[in-house]
Amino acid sequence: MKTLNPWRWFTRESITVEIEPPHITEDNAPLPSIVLIHGANQSNVSFEYLRHALPGFQYINIEWSAASGFHSNLTEMIAALQNSGPVYLVGHSMGCIYAAHLSQRVECIGGAALSAPWGGSKAADWLRYMTPNYPLYKEVGTKSPIIIEGRQFKLPGEWINYVSTAGDVPGMGEKNDCVLTIKSMTARTDIKNKFIKATHYEILMSTALIHSVGKNFLRASEKHQNKA
């Protein structure tokens, strides 16, 4: 594994791009890279299990900070992926919204959205007033232009929306995965939903999820190669 630090991102740390040997098909054509985008206040350690369960593919792991602001982060992500060729985007939670926006700016063959706040967060609607200097709550609220645009983009290629259904906690007013409501995660009607019995964070370690992501990545890659 090789680690590159070609871009100075946020004051927290530089961007890291972890590269593994690509999986090779029978015709010796390398598959597209899989871009992993973690959720807010997490790190690419979130995808540790996925990377080990699906070895042999080329991964690009993006680190971002919620304190830096969405548009600043997105600009840096676009620059980081500009010369990566075709990519398959995998996002978790707020990482899904970044993935949706990125899909409009890079060569995208498809993607996987894990516990995506497509409809925004009602909790963020009032938390933004309690912590006005924290940009994330403004960005993930139900009326956020970032959320609305991310939900309305036509996503290129093959996409699957993975909905976490366990962990229902009181106080959120409706069925939820302990962080987001099921209604928010299923707010898009243009991509297929796959329901995973796991909480918002457990979904990253679900064997059902890993198997499905791997299968759909290969399907998207095959369709992309057939079009070339």
CATH number, domain with residue 201: 3.40.50.1820
Q: Express each pLDDT in 132-156 by its tens digit.
A: 889 999 999 999 999 999 999 999 9
Residue 56: what pLDDT? 87
* C-alpha distance from residue 27 to each of 33, 84, 159 (Å): 17, 21, 25
- pLDDT-derived band at 18, boundaries 50, 70, 90: low
Contacts of 132 (CB under 8 A, 6+ apart): none
Average pLDDT, the chain: 88
Instruction: Kindly state the tokens that stand for 209.
Output: 């999820």
- Residues 41-75 pLDDT 10s: 999 999 999 999 999 899 999 999 999 999 999 99
- Give percent above pLDDT 70 in the chain: 87
Residue 67 and residue 135 in contact, taking contact as beta carbons nearer than 8 Å: yes
The domain total for the chain is 1
Q: Which of 85-99, 120-134, 206-220 has the lowest mean pLDDT?
A: 120-134
Task: State the maximum Cα–Cα separation within the chain, in Å, rounded to a whole number.
Answer: 57
Q: What percent of the chain has pLDDT over 90?
A: 80
Residues 6+ apart with CB under 8 A from 75: none
What CA–CA distance (Å, rounded) separates 89 from 95?
10
Which of 66, 104, 106 lies closest to 86, judged by CA?
A: 106
Place of tokens 């796959």: 194
Res. 7 pLDDT band, cuts 50 70 90? very low
- C-alpha–C-alpha distance, residues 81 and 89, integer Å: 11
Q: Is the pLDDT of residue 4 over 90?
A: no
Please state, in angstroms and rounded to a whole number, the distance separating the CA atoms of residues 77 and 158: 21
Contact present, 156 and 103 (Cβ < 8 Å): yes
Backbone dihedral angles phi then psi of residue 43, each to the nearest 5 degrees: -150, 175
Range of the domain at 141: 2-227
